[in-house]
């Protein structure tokens, strides 16, 4: 007899391994001859890089390989969800590099990577890398960033405006507001947040020199998509030469959807050191800096209504902080994903 699952309390099949400590999360995976990678990250939100000196780091105990931005032959990470549906849209293409080359645009941007026999040796060597930064002014508030005189981040985004986008029935909404019995106006701050899964991100890259195939174990919500984003768009590896494996994932909250520089770095590092697998596990502080954040909207809204409480129109103007560089799906979120569902579950005739 089939079980009627609706309303029944059903025990989860994956729980026995989690409650006995037999789960298999990314950092639980240990491969023969595996090396460990650590990433040096920028302490500045905005700076030019004059030089990166890794001589001392290369000589540290256990160090196998050191990578800087100039050594990375790949494309910047892809931004694959532009704000669609509006003509004449200018989406700039300032997406993150695998490692920064001439400058950094956000705190936590990767500058160099060390591969060593143990994680501790990799971290010890990071401390020996000397980066000559020329710090530049930074601004973190979206309204201040678009104000006159604000520090400029990208030449192709004047006044720090990446694009302007609109959707909906403009004339109808204007009319609804102009003729409304009541109009409520408000400024609403939806604060920036750190999604903060209990398991930070992490990955293991393995290049098989015999077959020239790559394997990427990743704490990810999107291993299928990453085959395209990391493989084809970033590194130029055809899909049949890259296998992406997501083991048990210790929470993600959206952060593990995106395409990150470390995916390409562990694969590149494995190839550079002759096919030994390379593991990178993110620290918590690192997670706060270098894994994506959410929200950070400043919204001006106007609600038109009748005295009996019926809502007749909604006009929303939102300034979304997209950060120092465009993430994988950053531009799609405050546009297609957000603006098209503004009315929520309400029946609002003019939005």
Partner 1 sequence: MAEHVTLVVNGQRREVDVEPRRLLVEVLREDFGLTGTHVACDTSQCGACTVHMDGQSVKSCTVLAVQADGATVTTIEGLAAGGELHPIQAAFWEKHGLQCGFCTPGMIMSAADLLARVPDPSDQQIRHAIHGNLCRCTGYHNIVAAIREAAVTMHTGSASDSGIVG
Binding site for partner 1 (CB under 8 A): 9, 11-12, 14-25, 27-28, 30, 120, 196-200, 248-251, 253, 283-285
Pairing between β-strand 63-68 and β-strand 110-116 as defined by DSSP bridges: antiparallel
How far apart CA 320 and CA 73 sit, in angstroms, is 32
Integer Cα distance of 135 and 45 in angstroms: 8
The binder of 285, among partner 1, ligand FES, none, by C-beta within 5 to 8 A per type, is partner 1
Report which of 260, 279, 255, 259 is spatially closest to residue 269, judged by C-alpha positions. Answer: 279
CB of 64 to partner 1, least distance (A): 18
DSSP H stretches of helix in the chain? 15-19, 55-58, 119-126, 142-145, 170-178, 223-226, 261-272, 284-290, 338-339
Angle ∠(288,291,295) on CA atoms, nearest 5: 85
Q: What is the strand order of the sheet 130-135 is part of?
A: 103-104, 47-53, 130-135
Name which of residues 234 to 293 contact ligand FES (CB under 6 A): 251
182-193 β-sheet, strand order: 182-193, 294-305, 311-320
Q: Which of 198, 307, 309, 347 binds ligand FES (CB under 6 A)?
A: 198
By beta-carbon distance, which residue lies closest to ligand FES? 198
CB closer to ligand FES out of 8 and 198: 198
Cβ distance to partner 1 smaller for residue 163 or 288: 288
Q: How far is the CB of 245 from partner 1 (least distance, A)?
A: 17
Which helix H or strand E contains 316, and what residues bound it? strand 311-320
In angstroms, what is the minimal distance from the CB of 249 to ligand FES? Answer: 10
Residue 70, CB-side half-sphere exposure with 13 Å CA sphere: 7
Question: Is the Cβ of residue 204 or residue 326 nearer to partner 1 in the bound state?
Answer: 204
Binding to ligand FES by CB under 6 A, coded x per residue (else -) over 94-113, reads --------------------
Residue 240's binding partner, choosing from ligand FES, partner 1, none, with beta-carbon cut-off 5 to 8 A by kind?
none
Cβ 203 vs Cβ 215: under 8 Å: no
* Cβ-based nearer residue to partner 1, 249 or 311: 249
User: Which is nearer to partner 1, 195 or 349 (by Cβ)?
Assistant: 195
- Which option in ligand FES, partner 1, none does residue 16 bind, with CB closer than 5 to 8 A by kind? partner 1
Q: Which residue, 18 or 300, has its beta carbon nearer to ligand FES?
A: 18
- Binding partner of 307, given ligand FES, partner 1, none, CB within 5-8 angstroms per partner class: none
Chain positions contacting ligand FES, by CB under 6 A: 198, 251
């Amino acid at each position: 007899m089939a079980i009627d699952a609706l309303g029944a309390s059903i025990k989860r099949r994956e729980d026995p391994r989690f409650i006995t400590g037999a789960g298999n999360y990314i950092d639980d995976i240990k491969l023969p001859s595996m090396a460990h990678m650590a990433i040096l990250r920028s302490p500045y939100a905005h700076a030019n890089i004059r030089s990166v000196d890794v001589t001392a780091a290369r000589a540290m105990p256990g160090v196998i390989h050191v990578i800087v931005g100039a050594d990375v032959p790949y494309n910047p990470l892809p931004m694959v969800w532009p704000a669609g549906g509006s003509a004449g849209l200018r989406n700039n293409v300032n997406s993150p590099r695998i490692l920064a080359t001439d400058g950094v645009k956000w705190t936590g941007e990767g500058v160099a990577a060390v591969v060593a026999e143990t994680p501790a040796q990799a971290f010890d060597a990071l401390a020996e890398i000397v980066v000559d930064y020329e710090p530049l002014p930074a601004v973190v508030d979206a309204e201040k960033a678009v104000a006159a005189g604000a520090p400029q981040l990208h030449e192709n985004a004047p006044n720090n405006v990446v694009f302007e986008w609109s959707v909906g029935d403009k004339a109808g909404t204007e009319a609804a507001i102009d003729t409304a019995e009541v109009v409520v106006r408000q400024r609403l701050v939806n604060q920036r947040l750190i999604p903060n899964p209990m398991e930070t991100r992490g990955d293991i890259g393995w290049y098989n020199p015999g077959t020239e195939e790559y394997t990427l174990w990743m704490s990810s919500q999107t291993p299928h998509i990453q085959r395209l984003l990391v493989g084809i768009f970033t590194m130029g590896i055809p899909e049949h030469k890259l296998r992406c494996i997501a083991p048990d994932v210790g929470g993600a909250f959206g952060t593990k959807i995106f395409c990150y520089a470390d995916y390409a770095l562990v694969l590149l590092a494995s190839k550079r050191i002759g096919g030994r697998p390379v593991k990178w596990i993110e620290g918590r502080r690192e997670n706060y800096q270098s894994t994506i954040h959410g929200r950070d909207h400043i919204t001006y809204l106007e609600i038109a209504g009748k005295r009996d409480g019926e809502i007749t129109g909604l006009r929303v103007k939102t300034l979304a902080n997209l950060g120092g560089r465009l993430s994988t799906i950053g531009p799609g979120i405050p546009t297609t994903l957000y603006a098209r569902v503004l009315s929520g579950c309400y029946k609002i005739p003019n939005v």
